[in-house]
Amino acid sequence: MISRQVLNRASPYVFIAPAVLITSIALVYPVLQSIWLSFHEWSIGTPPDQTRFVGLENYRWLLADRAFWTSVGVTLVFAGAVVLCETVLGVGLALALDRELRGMSIIRTIFILPMMVAPIVVGLIWRFLYNEQFGPLNQVLTGLGLPAMSWLSSPDLALVSVIIADIWQWTPFIFILSLAALQSLPSSAIEAARIDGASPWQAIVFIKLPLMMPVIVVAALLRLIDAFKVLEVIYILTEGGPGLSTEILSLHIYKTAFVSQQLGRASALSNLLLVMVMAITLALVAVNHLRRVATRRADAAEG
Amino acid sequence: MPRIAIKRLEKRYGDVPVISGLDLVMEDKEFTVLVGPSGCGKSTTLRMIAGLEDVSGGEIWIGDREVSSLEPKDRGIAMVFQDYALYPHMNVAQNMSFALRLARMPRAEIDARVRRVADMLSISHLLSRRPRELSGGQRQRVAMGRALVRDAPVFLFDEPLSNLDAKLRTQMRAELALMRQRVEKNMIYVTHDQVEAMTLADRIVVMNGGVVQQQGSPQELYEKPANLFVAGFIGAPAMNLLSARLVSSSGGPAASVGDLVLPLPERLQDRMSPDSNIVVGLRPSAIKPAGVGRGELPVNVLLSEYAGAHSLLIGDCAGQRVTVEVTSEDVRRGAGSALFSFDPEQLHVFEARTGDAF
Ligand SMILES: Nc1ncnc2c1ncn2[C@@H]1O[C@H](COP(=O)(O)OP(=O)(O)OP(=O)(O)O)[C@@H](O)[C@H]1O
Ligand SMILES: [Mg+2]
């Protein structure tokens, strides 16, 4: 007979076992496979038994590759810019639209729409908008007597254009999460702040934003992780060009794997990307945690 | 310190009127309690005074200013909310000092004020805790403290004790009464608990359906309820209300309840038309053992609720339910088993149709 206590203690593990199993098959196995592959040289089309063990050669080659470092730079600029803009815009919109006016729910729904569009379609929409001859953007510009812009073909402007498209698509994500956070705030605390003399701005800065912060941090983190992995929109808009000006890492990986057909190097690249994303995520989580510990200390010191 | 005057105040949500034509005057340093059943518009009235709710019509005067279009912060009020509404991300000291920090008061003075109020409320040892680390009673004190440090001339309370358990509520009620002696302010207190109203108020305003039923001192309301609603609402256990007909008997005015004839107070002579329908009110505590009062009241006792020094007897009098409050001592001696008495002067008489007192 197994005692009841043992059963009780075992039950949580029984319940999470299926999830652990599926995760390890779907997530851990590919990662291990990719790590294994990154130590080998293997081209598409050659049989697996022709793979050759090369040790750290793939990594050494990558770290010496200018294109890799350019791509890292582009990725960081892209991810940093989109997450920053989307967070500021999304939270700002949520704060602005959090009121009970007629038609507000329709406006909110419209703001959410871009997120529902498939990335490929988003790419096509913006390629049309950015088209230098027939695109609406340039037609408006020339209509106003301004010079037409080479949105996607100028190395300086292309990254900005790509960033704008991503902001258009993903600001709604931050927006809906912030709005949900905002609407679940205790309304009486905000009323108390009004009575305590807070202007609408002060209520936002001292009450609403701090209370929304946990949600904002998680939403921004999700966006950050996602921003490191965008592929379709940029692929359709610029294919990474002109030059390498919009070649973010995921696109670089794609090209290494399927254009240059170097699967070993592509795997090494993926692993570096994984490490980067993980490092940044952990760093942000740690900063957030330290901040909380610090306020806690300050509380204790004050009392 | 201002006097608060409310004139023809109205509130509608869409087409639904919640408050219609409310007139109130709250004198300086008066503790006014708005009391009434759930949904009668007490909170709405308070929130309109605070500026958290727009008014649909009428005026609110605080001192010599008409404030109904001013922001809450410009009205000179402090408020304690039913759910305390503490700022969850700030510790107790920060919660209490928030308003002062917004007002850019010097740091030293903020600290001094917070310390003084915290001492007064015995929460000094909690200053570094977050609201979620406090018990309900402690949160309640912090909410009170946050309002007190402001030193605003007007204090608003919306059912501040209703989330506490019975014992703590009694204790906090006493502390509130003490605090009220020390802090001379205009206080408006909303509750649906008539015991709180009776014990705390200088003036009670009884509301029902968005209309003031009666206002006055606790004693006035208890002794001279203006209508059936106030009579039934103020006082615990509630007043016995018996449907009756007015008859004239040799000994003066009288009421017939079933086949029972009760003598009515002499003062009502000539004021009533005979044979009209009336309601006779008699407080449970005004019913005495037989032989004490001039009027006789036979009650068929069905149930005795022992409550320590007193017992409540619930019974049947001429087909209507009656509650009698007697000392447990009387019950033990067997007094008050079937026949009780009362003093006719303590009867309340209401017109059945309008509910108004004669
Ligand atoms: N936002 C609103 N929209 C529509 N009706 C409302 C709204 N707020 C309150 N009411 C209505 O106004 C009436 C008065 O509400 P109020 O909150 O003032 O009651 P109350 O006297 O404080 O009751 P309680 O003792 O339960 O707190 C209620 O009938 C309520 O349904
Ligand atoms: Mg209420």
pLDDT in tens, A166-220: 999 999 999 999 999 998 898 889 999 999 989 999 999 999 999 999 899 889 9
Residue B270, SS3?
A: coil
Contact check, Cβ <8 Å, B52/A192: no
Closest CA to B155 of B91, B25, B217, B62: B62
CB of B34 closer than 6 angstroms to any ligand 1 atom: no
Give the pLDDT confidence score for residue B44 in this predicted structure.
92
Instruction: Mention every residue, 6+ apart, whose C-beta is less than 8 A from residue A171.
Output: A85, A86, A89, A90, A93, A114
The single-letter code of the amino acid at B144 is: M
**Does residue A194 belong to the interface with chain B, where contact is any CB pair within 8 Å?**
yes
pLDDT on residue A298: 72
Q: Looking at beta carbons, which residues of chain A come within 8 Å of B103? A: 197
CA angle at residue B130 from B128 to B136, to 5 degrees?
115
**B307 pLDDT more than 90:** no
B114: enclosing H helix or E strand: helix B107-120
Angle at B100 between CA B94 and CA B104, to 5 degrees: 115
Q: pLDDT value at position B327?
A: 86
Q: Give the CA distances from residue A65 to residues A68, A79, A257, in Å, rounded to whole numbers and listed in that order.
A: 5, 21, 16
Ligand 1 pocket residue status of B13, Cβ below 6 Å: yes
Tell me the two tokens of residue A163.
Answer: 């960033």
Lowest mean pLDDT among A5-9, A291-295, B247-251, B326-330: B247-251
- How near does any CA of chain B get to the CA of A179, in Å? 19
Q: Is the pLDDT of residue B197 over 70?
A: yes
**Residue-wise pLDDT tens digits, B204-228:** 999 998 889 999 999 999 999 999 9
Sign of CA dihedral B162, B166, B168, B172: positive
Predicted local confidence at residue A1, as pLDDT: 61
Mutate to test the interface with B, among A196, A201, A205 (most CBs of B within 10 A): A196
Residues in B 117-136 with any Cβ partner in A closer than 8 A: 127-130
C-alpha to C-alpha distance for B209 and B45, rounded to whole angstroms: 12
Residues A238 and A162: beta-carbon distance below 8 Å: yes
Q: Tell me, yes or no, if A191 comes closer than 8 A to chain B by beta carbon.
A: yes
Residue with tokens 């304690």: B80
SS3 B268: helix
Distance from chain centroid for Cα A25: 25
Model pLDDT, residue A107: 83
Output b/e per residue, B173-184; b: 16+ Cβ within 10 A: bebbeebbeeee
Q: What percent of chain A has pLDDT over 90?
A: 22
Which pLDDT score, from 0 to 100, does residue B270 have? Answer: 66
Determine whether the interchain pair A194/B73 forms a contact, defined as Cβ–Cβ distance below 8 Å.
yes
Q: What is the DSSP letter of B284?
A: G
Assess whether the C-beta atom of B210 lies below 6 angstroms from ligand 1: no
Give the residue carrying structure tokens 């942000």: A284
The 3-state DSSP class for residue B300 equals: strand
All structural domains of chain A, each given as residue ranges with its CATH number in brackets, are 39-302 (1.10.3720.10)
Mean of pLDDT over chain A: 86
Q: Would you tell me how many other CB atoms lie within 10 Å of the CB of residue A255?
A: 20
CB B18 less than 6 A from any atom of ligand 1? yes
Tell me which residue has its CA closest to atom 29 in ligand 1: B39
Q: ipTM of the predicted structure?
A: 0.80
Residue in the block written with tokens 């170097």: A262
Q: Is A197 part of the contact surface with chain B (CB cutoff 8 Å)?
A: yes
Long-range pairs of B106-109 with CB within 8 A, sequence gap ≥ 24: none
How many of the other CB atoms lie within 10 Å of CB of B161? 22
Contact criterion met (CB below 8 Å) for A217 and A288: yes
- Which residues have C-beta within 8 Å of that of residue B273, sequence separation ≥ 6? B246
The CB of B37 under 6 Å from ligand 1? The reply is: no
How does residue B336 score in pLDDT terms, banded at 50, 70 and 90? low
Q: What is the third-level CATH fold of B240-351?
A: OB fold (Dihydrolipoamide Acetyltransferase, E2P) (2.40.50)
Distance from C-alpha of B129 to C-alpha of B157, rounded to nearest angstrom: 24
Q: Whose CA is closest to B281, among B197, B196, B352?
A: B352
Q: What percent of chain A has pLDDT over 70?
A: 98
- The answer to whether residues B170 and B197 touch, using CB atoms and an 8 Å cutoff, is no
User: What average pLDDT does range B98-117 have in this prediction?
Assistant: 92
Tens-digit pLDDT profile for residues A55-105: 787 888 888 888 888 889 999 999 999 999 999 999 999 998 887 777 778
Residues in Cβ contact with A234 at an 8 Å cutoff, skipping those fewer than 6 apart: A123, A162, A240, A246, A248, A251
Measured distance CA(A31)–CA(A40) in Å, rounded:
15
Binned at pLDDT 50, 70 and 90, residue A260 comes out as confident
Q: What is the pLDDT of residues B45-103, one digit of tens each?
A: 999 999 999 999 889 998 888 888 888 888 889 999 988 899 999 999 999 999 999 99
> Residue A302: pLDDT band by 50, 70, 90 thresholds?
low
Written as one string, the DSSP assignment of chain A is ---HHHHHHHHHHHHHHHHHHHHIIIIIHHHHHHHHHHTEE-BTTS-GGG-EE-TTHHHHHHHT-HHHHHHHHHHHHHHHHHHHHHHHHHHHHHHHH-S--TTHHHHHHHHHGGGGS-HHHHHHHHHHHH-TTT-HHHHHHHHTTPPP--TTTSHHHHHHHHHHHHHHHHHHHHHHHHHHHHHTS-HHHHHHHHHTT--HHHHIIIIIHHHHHHHHHHHHHHHHHHHTT--HHHHHHTTT-STTTT--HHHHHHHHHHTS-BHHHHHHHHHHHHHHHHHHHHHHHHHHHHHHHHHHHHHHHH-
Tokens 């605390």, residue located = A189
pLDDT at A301: 65
pTM: 0.79
Nearest to A192 among B81, B89, B103 (CB): B81
Q: Compute the nearest-CA separation of B5 from chain A (Å).
A: 20
Cis amide leading into B237 (omega within 30):
yes
Task: Count the neighbouring beta carbons within 10 Å of the beta carbon of residue B11.
Answer: 22
- The atom number, within ligand 1, closest to the CA of B42 reads 21
Residue B272 has pLDDT above 70, yes or no: no
- The nearest CA of chain A is from the CA of B164 a distance in Å of 18
Binding site membership of B42 for ligand 1 (Cβ less than 6 Å): yes
Distance CA B2, CA B152 (A): 11
Q: How far is CA A244 from CA A94, A238, B11, in A?
A: 36, 10, 65
- Counting beta carbons within 10 angstroms of the beta carbon of residue B195, is it exposed (0 to 12), middle (13 to 18) or buried (19 or more)? middle
- Number of A–B residue contacts, CB under 8 Å: 72
Residue B245 and residue B275 in contact, taking contact as beta carbons nearer than 8 Å: yes
CA distances from B303 to B245, B283, B321 (A): 28, 18, 11
B44 lines ligand 1 (CB under 6 A): yes
DSSP state, residue B267: G
Q: What residues of chain B lie within 8 A of the CB of A199, using their CB?
A: 73
Supply the residue whose CA is at minimum distance from atom 7 of ligand 1: B13
Category of A121 on φ-ψ map: left (φ > 0), alpha (ψ -120 to 50) or beta: alpha
pLDDT digits (tens, 9 = 90+) for A76-88: 999 999 999 999 9
The 10 Å Cβ neighbour count of residue A16 is 11
Residue intervals of chain B classified under CATH 2.40.50.100 are 240-351
pLDDT of res. A209: 93
CA dihedral of residues A88, A90, A92, A98 (deg, nearest 10) = -160
CATH superfamily of B4-233: P-loop containing nucleotide triphosphate hydrolases (3.40.50.300)
Q: What is the mean pLDDT of residues A282-295?
A: 83
Residue whose CA is closest, atom 3 of ligand 1?
Answer: B13
Q: What is the pLDDT of residues B130-183, one digit of tens each?
A: 998 898 888 988 998 999 898 888 899 998 888 788 888 888 888 888 888 887
Q: What residue's CA is closest to ligand 1, atom 6?
A: B13
pLDDT tier at A267, thresholds 50, 70, 90? confident
The pLDDT mean for chain B works out to: 87
> Which atom from ligand 1 is nearest to the alpha carbon of B44?
18
> With 80 as the cut, is the pLDDT of residue B271 above it?
no
In angstroms, rounded to a whole number, what is the distance separating the alpha carbons of residues B138 and B268? 52
The rounded Å distance from CA B42 to ligand 2 centre is 6
Is the pLDDT at A291 greater than 70, yes or no? yes
Tokens of B247: 């008859």
